[in-house]
Amino acid sequence: MSANVWRKLIPVVVPLLLASAPAAAETHFAAARDDMIRTIEAIARGVSGQSGAIDAAVLAAMREVPRHELVPADVRDRAYVDSPLSIGFGQTISQPYIVALMTSLAKPGSDYVVLEVGTGSGYQAAVLSRLVAQVYSIEIVEPLASRAAERLKALGYDNVTVRHGDGYQGWPEHAPFDAIVVTAAADHIPAPLVEQLKPGGRMVIPVGASSLAQNLMLVEKDRDGSHTRRTVLPVRFVPLVGGNR
């Protein structure tokens, strides 16, 4: 082809190539997301009994949420791998299977108001937001709280409110909550969170004094205000920090 023909084609071809690149990336991420869902289903099948079961609505929500838009750019290409990833400040976004499990254990209902402690990247909050009416999420590391709030807003997750603070204390202004999901490990079950749970409500929380000895626990508040707790499975989370214990 002559140089003249190329010169005429460039203004047509280059914009077309530039326009198709984001579409190709989205197709790639959608396929990776489908693989992630298949991996979660396979893990759930391998966990004995009902303790590892994942709700179909939770998987449908996770199939929608663009995890790659919430993680930092340096780990974007690994966004759909079934493992925790660094999000900076010594913190992590949790393994997708564990997000699916915790969300399923919370038994989200469409009219629920849910508290999340440990916003991190905002991914768990985004998944919850597809399943409930309102999510309140607290993050103790200010830059993570700001970044997650900004990303969630940009992606249109309008029923998520993020604030910077110590989630150990819960969020009394919006209590009581139908469910509470704590995504950092406490060495005991925080009394303020149990108090802020509705009768009939459920809290999912990793508990353990060291990172090598943590269990995911399900706390259920009875109608009479008492609560029961059950161990689900061993996990490894970053610690719940903060004061006023």
Ligand X SMILES: C[S@@+](CC[C@H](N)C(=O)[O-])C[C@H]1O[C@@H](n2cnc3c(N)ncnc32)[C@H](O)[C@@H]1O
- Rank residues 176 and 242 by Cβ distance to ligand X and give the closer one: 242
Name which position in 168, 170, 208, 221 contacts ligand X (CB under 6 A): 168
Q: Smallest gap, in angstroms, from Cβ of residue 12 to ligand X?
A: 42
For residue 153, give the 3-state DSSP assignment: helix
Distances, alpha carbon 200 to alpha carbons 102, 147, 203, 222, 223, in Å = 17, 33, 10, 5, 6
CB 150 within 8 A of CB 164: no
137 is catalytic: no
* Of 72-80, 86-94, 151-159, 219-227: span binding ligand X (CB under 6 A): 86-94
Q: Which of residues 184-223 bind ligand X (CB under 6 A)?
A: 184
Mark 123-162 with x for binding to ligand X (rule: CB under 6 A) and - for no binding: xx-------------xxxx--x------------------
For residue 60, give the 3-state DSSP assignment: helix
* Structure token pair of residue 223: 């109608």
CB atoms under 10 Å from CB of 7, counted, come to 9
* Of 89-97, 149-157, 171-179, 227-235: span binding ligand X (CB under 6 A): 89-97
Binding residues for ligand X, total number by CB under 6 A: 25
| 120 forms part of the interface with ligand X (CB under 6 A) | yes
Spatial CA neighbour of 106 closest among 202, 186, 200, 184: 202
CA 159 centroid distance within chain: 14
Residues in the site for ligand X, rule: CB under 6 A? Answer: 91-94, 117-118, 120-121, 123-124, 138-141, 144, 166-168, 183-184, 237-238, 240-242
